[in-house]
Amino acid sequence: IITKLPQVGTTIFTVMSQLAVEHNAVNLGQGFPDFPMDGQLTDLVNKAMKNGYNQYAHMHGYLPLREKIAEKIQKLYNTSVSADSEITVTPGGTYALYTALTTVLVPGDEVIVFEPAYDSYVPAIELNGAKPVFISLKYPEYAVPWEEVRNKITSRTRMIMINTPHNPTGSVLSEEDMVQLQSVVEDTNIIIVSDEVYEHLIFDNIPHQSILRFPRLLERSFVCFSFGKTYHCTGWKMGYCVAPADITAEFRKVHQFNCFSANTPVQVALAEFLQYEEAYLSLGQFLQHKRDYFQQLMMQTPFKALPSYGSYFQCFSYAHLTDENDRLFAERLVKEAGVATIPVSAFYSNAEDNKVLRLCFAKKATTLESAAKRLSNFK
Ligand code: PMP
Ligand code: GLN
C-alpha cells in the first residue's frame, strides 16, 4: 500500500465528534455552531437556485461576489484589491490554504509553522514534499517568539504560516507582531500564508490585524477566509483567497484543475447578503457574550480558563487536576462526563501536552449550560 502521509491518522475533529455521538455527549469539540444560521441567507440560496443559478460559476468566483468582497476589504482594512485579478472564491478556507501551499512549494522547501497549529497545515505541506519547521507559541500566552523565528530562517525557508485569531488557542496577533513579521521577511523571498478565517470573531474591541492592512506584507501573501465561520454555515464550505495579481495567477492555475469553481447558488446568495454589514460587524460582540457566559458557567467546574481573545474557542487547563495526558483525559471526559472537547496536543507534531483542552462556545446557551453542569459533576 502506498502512503504519502505515514504519520497521519484520522483528524481529531472526526474522532471526537464520533465519540460524542457514541456516548451521547454534549459536543464542544469540533468547531461549529449548534444554532441556526440567518434564514434570510438560506432564502437567498433558494432564490438563486429557482432563478437558474445552477451551472458552473466563473472559475475565479462569481464576479458580483468578488466585487462585494473587494468593497468589504476596502471598508474594513482600507486596502484596494482587484476583484478581477486578486480575489479567488474557493470551496472553503481549508481548500484556499491547501491551494496556496501547493501553488508555491516544491520538495525541499521549508515552511515555518507555529504550534499548536490547525491540523490541516502540516499534511498539506508534506503532501507537497516540503518540510514543516516547527516553532512553539509560548505557553500560556501563546505568544510568537520572534527571536526564534529569526534563528530558524534558512536559505530554504519558502513560507511562513500565520493564523489570527488563532485556532485552537484564541490568541490574536498584535500590531507589534505584524511589524516583527515584516522585519523578518524583508530582504527575503519568503511568502506568507495567512489564515484569517476568524477575522470577525475577535473580542474586547481588539482590531483584527489582517495582512490586508500591511501593504508590504500583502505583496508577498496569500490571505485566506471562510464564509462558514462568518455566517454560521460551516457545512457550506465556501471561502476565498486574496493575493497580489501575480501570485493569484499562479494560484488559479492550480485551482482550475482541482475543483475549477465553487458552488454557484451559494455564491450568488452571498453576493447579495454581503450588503448587510451588521451581520458580520456584530459577530464579535455576539460571540464575546457567549465566551463570557461560558467562562462564567465554567467557574463552577475545576477547569481553569486561559485567555481567549478571538475565534470561537476557549482553552482550559486541567494540569492541577491530574497528570493524565490530554488525549486520554479528553476521551474519559466524553465517556464519563458526557462532554466532548479537543485535546490541544493534537495540534503539535510532537504531541506537546500542556494539559489543555479546547472547547467550542459557538453554542446555544442551553448547550453551554448542560456542558458546564456535566463538567461540574465530573470527579
Ligand atoms: N483554518 C482554521 C484555523 C479553521 O479553524 C478552519 C475551520 N475549519 C479553517 C481554516 C477552514 O475553514 P473551512 O471550513 O471554510 O474549510
Ligand atoms: N475548524 C473546525 C475546528 O477547528 C473543524 C473543521 C474540521 O472538522 N475539519 O474545530
104 lies in some domain: yes
Q: Is residue 45 part of a domain?
A: no
Are both 271 and 288 inside the same structural domain? Answer: no
The ipTM (two decimal places) reads 0.97
Mark whether 169 and 252 lie in a shared domain.
Answer: yes
Q: What number is the average pLDDT over the span 33-57?
A: 98
Question: Which pLDDT score, from 0 to 100, does residue 170 have?
Answer: 98
- Residues with CB under 6 Å of ligand 1 are 31, 92-94, 118, 163, 167, 195, 197, 226, 228, 234, 237, 239
Taking 90 as the threshold, does the pLDDT of residue 207 lie above it? yes
pLDDT band at 57 (very low <50, low <70, confident <90, very high): very high
pLDDT tops 80 at residue 200: yes
End residue of a domain, out of 276, 306, 341: 276
Mark whether 73 and 18 lie in a shared domain. no
pTM for the model: 0.98
**Nearest atom of ligand 1 to the alpha carbon of 228:** 15
CB 91 near ligand 2, within 6 Å: no
CATH number at residue 304: 3.90.1150.10
Looking at the structure, tell me whether residues 342 and 229 fall in a common domain: no
Query: Over the stretch 68-122, which tens digit does the pLDDT of each residue have?
Result: 999 999 999 999 999 999 999 999 999 999 999 999 999 999 999 999 999 999 9
Look at residue 141 and tell me if it is in a domain: yes
pLDDT of residue 203: 98
* 152 domain-assigned: yes
**269 and 299 both lie in a single domain:** no
Q: What per-residue confidence (pLDDT) applies to 379?
A: 76
Residues 167-181 have a mean pLDDT of: 98
User: Kind and range of the H or E element at 131?
Assistant: strand 131-136
Note whether residue 271 is domain-resident: yes
The pLDDT of residue 1: 84
Residue 378 has pLDDT above 90, yes or no: no
By residue range, what is the domain housing residue 270?
55-276
- Do 141 and 209 fall within a single domain? yes
Looking at the structure, do residues 215 and 327 belong to the same domain, yes or no?
Answer: no
What integer pLDDT is reported at residue 377 of this predicted model?
84
> Are the CB atoms for 196 and 225 separated by under 8 Å?
yes
How high is the pLDDT of residue 278? 97
Residue 226 Cβ contacting ligand 2 at under 6 Å: no
Ligand 1 centre and the CA of 322: distance in Å? 31
187 located within any domain = yes
> What is the model's pLDDT at position 108?
97
What is the position in ligand 1's atom list of the atom closest to the CA of 238?
A: 15
Instruction: Give 240-251 pLDDT, tens digit per residue.
Output: 999 999 999 999
Name the one residue in this structure whose C-alpha cell is 482600507.
78
pLDDT tens figures, 249-303: 999 999 999 999 999 999 999 999 999 999 999 999 999 999 999 999 999 999 9
What CATH number is attached to the domain comprising 259? Answer: 3.40.640.10
Average pLDDT across the chain, whole number: 97
Question: What is the predicted pLDDT for the residue at 134?
Answer: 98
Under a CB-based contact definition with an 8 Å cutoff, are residues 94 and 309 in contact? no
- Residue 377: closest CA among 307, 294, 303, 269: 303
Domain boundary (241, 260, 276) is at 276
Whether 245 and 269 share a structural domain? yes
Q: At what angle do helices 264-273 and 63-77 cross, to 10 degrees?
A: 40
- DSSP for 312-337 reads TEEEEE-TTT----HHHHHHHIIIII
Looking at the 3D structure of the chain, how many domains does it have? 2
Asked if residue 43 belongs to a domain, the reply is no
User: Which of 214, 241, 276 is the C-terminal boundary of a domain?
Assistant: 276
> Which residue type is seen at 321?
L
Domain match, 105 and 68 both: yes
309 and 332 both lie in a single domain: yes
290 and 223 in a common domain: no
SS (H, E, C) 20-78: HHHCCCEECCCCCCCCCCCHHHHHHHHHHHHCCCCCCCCCCCCHHHHHHHHHHHHHHHC
CA of 118 to the centre of ligand 1 (A): 8
For residue 369, what pLDDT is reported?
98
Specify if 49 maps to a domain: no
The atom number, within ligand 2, closest to the CA of 167 reads 4
Q: Are residues 226 and 304 in the same domain?
A: no
Main-chain phi, psi angles of 280, to 5 degrees: -95, -25
